[in-house]
Amino acid sequence: MKTALTIAGSDSSGGAGIQADLKTFSAHGVYGMSVIVSITAQNTQKVEEVEDLSPRIIGAQLDAVFSDITVDAVKIGMVSNPEAIRVIAEKLIQYKPKFIVLDPVMVSKSGYDLLQPEAKNVLIEKLLPLATIVTPNLFEAERLINNGEITTIEGMKEAAKQIYALGPQAVLVKGGHLEGDAVDVFYDGKQFETFEEERIETKNTHGTGCTLSSAIASHLAKGEALEEAIEGAKTYIQGAIRHSLSIGHGSGPTNHFFQWFKN
């Protein structure tokens, strides 16, 4: 069985973070493992509190997994602070996993900072160059390059080019927050490709970014090429949003088991 490891934060409500990633891996038939960086007290309405784990225990989790198990793909989500980022980068350089999908999580949909402001430049310097692909949403893409607001597909292409210059092997700028269809822009230094799906009108989009990036990691773990992996992940997120769950009083989660149980 193929394996995937998520390095991310825990979401107590189960819609985003580690919990969304593990559900996504399972739904793809991939064995999931986790390195927890932070614990969030969060629900469908807001993030109440965040507590970071120490760099020591983050490093120990990484050593425990990599020293024993073959990791076919890694997904990185919420990494919270500079010290956590440094130990993650150090261990990934040591263990050299074949694929690293980096979702540069910065702010929750409910508006809570999940990346400390002083950690942004450390993430750019230490993690972007290690990434097989980085998957910013519009806000994150704007923050990575500090070049104004992105409001068009052309703007997404320009941002993808500038983020590519920071060192990852490829970039997928997600257009979930743009108007119109859900269009994501891919750039690998050679060509652009757009991945398009119809926009689904729903408030239940908690964890969409986590779900997409861990679906890409699952497809890469199974040996698919990058563009094929994105295509598969885009089909998956479309189903997961279409059958998203009205759980809680706010923005409900994506549905990972829509093939079997529709809501």
Ligand X SMILES: Nc1ncnc2c1ncn2[C@@H]1O[C@H](COP(=O)(O)OP(=O)(O)O)[C@@H](O)[C@H]1O
Ligand Y SMILES: Cc1ncc(COP(=O)(O)OP(=O)(O)O)c(N)n1
Would you give the distance in Å from CA 57 to the centre of its chain? 22
Q: Could you confirm whether 207 is annotated as catalytic?
A: yes
Q: Give every CB contact of residue 105 below 8 A, 6+ residues apart in sequence.
A: 8, 9, 77, 78, 79, 114, 115, 140, 209, 210
Q: Give every CB contact of residue 104 below 8 A, 6+ residues apart in sequence.
A: 115, 123, 127, 128, 134, 135, 136, 140, 144
Task: Find the binder of ligand X among 31, 200, 247, 248 (CB under 6 A).
Answer: 200
Distances (CA, A) of 19 to 1, 139, 176: 20, 23, 21
Q: How far apart are CA 175 and CA 203, in angstroms?
A: 16
Distances (CA, A) of 249 to 47, 107, 123, 202: 14, 20, 33, 13
Report the site for ligand X in 159-188 (rule: CB under 6 A): 174-177, 182, 184
Active-site residue (options: 2, 6, 132, 210): 210
Residue 197 interacting partner from ligand X, ligand Y, none (CB closer than 5 to 8 Å by kind):
ligand X
Between 15 and 32, whose beta carbon lies closer to ligand X? 15
Report the site for ligand Y in 3-42 (rule: CB under 6 A): 8-9, 11, 16-17, 40, 42
Minimum Å gap between C-beta 197 and ligand X is 5
Q: Give every CB contact of residue 205 below 8 A, 6+ residues apart in sequence.
A: 109, 176, 241, 244, 251, 254
Report the site for ligand Y in 94-133 (rule: CB under 6 A): 105, 108-109, 114
Using the rule CB under 6 A, is 58 a contact of ligand Y? no
Q: Could you confirm whether 210 is annotated as catalytic?
A: yes
Active-site residue (options: 208, 232, 234, 252): 208
Give bridge partners of residue 159 from the DSSP assignment: none
Give bridge partners of residue 173 from the DSSP assignment: 185
Using the rule CB under 6 A, is 153 a contact of ligand X? no
Minimum Å gap between C-beta 18 and ligand X is 15
Between 65 and 216, whose beta carbon lies closer to ligand X? 216
Q: Could you confirm whether 208 is annotated as catalytic?
A: yes
Write out the DSSP string of 146-179: T-----SHHHHHHHHHHHHTTS-S-EEE--TTSS
Using the rule CB under 6 A, is 77 a contact of ligand Y? yes
Between 7 and 62, whose beta carbon lies closer to ligand X? 7
Residue 241 interacting partner from ligand X, ligand Y, none (CB closer than 5 to 8 Å by kind):
ligand X
Using the rule CB under 6 A, is 241 a contact of ligand X? yes
Using the rule CB under 6 A, is 207 a contact of ligand Y? yes
> Residue written as tokens 């189903």?
239
Q: Kindly list the catalytic residues.
A: 174, 205, 207-210
The residue ranges that bind ligand X (CB under 6 A) are: 137, 174-177, 182, 184, 197, 199-200, 205, 208-209, 212, 234, 237, 241
The residue ranges that bind ligand Y (CB under 6 A) are: 8-9, 11, 16-17, 40, 42, 77-78, 105, 108-109, 114, 206-210
